[in-house]
């Protein structure tokens, strides 16, 4: 099970969601865990759906 | 932040597909029965991909030559292969489905380019080759070329065209081969755009340079003319804004 506060990567374009940064243009405040993001949020780089992200392993 | 070049090189190796394996026979059977207006718009979009994909495949060489990181070089080379595959797929579609005449790809390109607006042709037949020549001669930097190629041509023009095709196919579900191919092309373009975004992040562009890319992309969203609707054009411009915000300011590297 992925750490809920960890990094998530878009499998399609390589964008990495970092909870420490959030996604200001997407309406996501810093500190928001990936699981807390609304389902209709999309990748800021390629427009992929939230379902296209997976936990980023170090 | 965006993944590192090593990630994209691995992704490129994993996402290979064979354009010749896509079955276009159902599409060829169904094409004559498609609504004539829908068919005309689809043919114009397919023409744009024939011209555009052929051009980007031919002009990408200097990009790889200019990249220093070996994984970035591998990504540019992989992209060249992708673009050639995309060009071959769209050539198959216009030949085998739409019945465009021609003994080879060059003849069919000549036949379909008349369907495209002058601004579209200028972008792919003059502007991109000029930037690629300047890059090869050391007269411009890789970030300038990536701004045009990855952000404007792929991230705006191709993406708008792909969205428009998929929208048209919603009411023509019998065109299964075209849909399958366009979805695979779109999947390739997503990693290309992500990789280009990473290149721009590493170039650490200032606000002025990023704003220039936005201006160019906003204008390019209209080069399809009325073949692509305003809603799709506005959507891809909004995506460009958001994408470029993701590389500003420079952030920590992820490999």
**pLDDT tens track for B172-222:** 999 999 999 999 999 999 999 999 999 999 988 888 889 999 999 999 999
**Residue among A9, A45, A56 minimizing CB distance to B246:** A45
Residue B196 contacts by C-beta under 8 Å, 6 or more apart in sequence? B146, B149, B150, B151, B154, B155
Asked if the Cβ–Cβ distance from B2 to A16 is below 8 Å, we say yes
> For residues B25 and B175, is the Cβ–Cβ distance under 8 A?
no
Measure in Å the smallest separation between the Cα of B105 and chain A Cα atoms: 30
pLDDT at B249: 59
Residue B163 clears pLDDT 90, i.e. is over it: yes
Q: How far apart are CA B173 and CA B186, in angstroms?
A: 18
- pLDDT tens string B35-60: 999 999 999 999 999 999 999 999 99
Contact A25 B242 (CB under 8 A): yes
Instruction: Give which of A7, A11, A14 to mutate to test B binding, by max B Cβ within 10 Å.
Output: A14
Q: Is the ipTM of this complex over 0.95?
A: no
pLDDT greater than 50 at residue B73: yes
Distance CA A52, CA B226 (A): 31
Q: What is the pLDDT of residue B49?
A: 98
Q: Residue B29's CB: how many other CB atoms inside 10 A?
A: 11
A2-57, pLDDT tens digit by residue? 556 799 999 999 999 999 999 988 999 999 999 999 999 999 999 999 999 999 87
Beta bridge partners of A10: A53
**Partners of residue A53 on adjacent β-strands:** A10
A15–B2: do the CB atoms touch at under 8 Å?
A: yes
State the Cα–Cα distance between residues B13 and B46, nearest whole angstrom. Answer: 26
CA–CA gap between residue B239 and residue A45 (Å, rounded): 7
* A30 contact B CB<8A: no
Q: Answer whether A12 touches B (CB < 8 Å).
A: yes
> pTM of the full predicted structure?
0.92
């Amino acid at each position: 099970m992925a750490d809920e506060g960890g990094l998530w990567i878009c499998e399609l374009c390589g964008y990495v969601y970092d909870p420490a940064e959030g996604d200001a243009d997407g309406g996501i405040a810093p500190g928001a865990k990936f699981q807390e993001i609304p389902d209709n949020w999309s990748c800021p780089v390629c427009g992929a759906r939230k379902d296209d992200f997976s936990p980023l392993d170090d | 932040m965006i993944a590192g070049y090593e990630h994209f090189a691995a992704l490129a190796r994993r996402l290979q597909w064979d354009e010749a394996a896509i079955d276009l026979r159902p599409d060829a059977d169904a094409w004559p029965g498609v609504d004539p207006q829908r068919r005309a718009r689809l043919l114009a979009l397919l023409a744009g991909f024939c011209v555009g994909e052929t051009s980007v495949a031919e002009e990408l060489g200097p990009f790889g030559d200019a990249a220093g990181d070996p994984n970035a070089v591998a990504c540019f080379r992989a992209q060249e292969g992708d673009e050639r595959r995309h060009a071959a797929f769209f050539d198959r579609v216009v030949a085998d489905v739409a019945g465009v005449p021609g003994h080879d790809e060059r003849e069919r390109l000549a036949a379909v380019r008349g369907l495209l607006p002058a601004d579209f042709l200028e972008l792919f037949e003059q502007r991109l080759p000029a930037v690629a020549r300047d890059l090869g001669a050391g007269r411009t930097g890789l970030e300038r070329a990536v701004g045009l190629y990855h952000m404007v041509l792929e991230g705006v023009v191709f993406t708008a065209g792909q969205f428009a095709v998929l929208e048209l196919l919603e009411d023509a579900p019998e065109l299964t081969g075209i849909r399958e191919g366009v979805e695979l092309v779109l999947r390739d373009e997503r990693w290309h755009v992500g990789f280009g975004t990473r290149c721009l992040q590493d170039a650490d562009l200032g606000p002025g340079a990023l704003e220039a890319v936005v201006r160019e992309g906003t204008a390019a969203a209209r080069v399809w003319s009325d073949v692509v609707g305003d809603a799709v054009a506005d959507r891809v411009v909004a995506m460009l804004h958001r994408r470029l915000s993701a590389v500003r300011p420079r952030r920590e590297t992820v490999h």
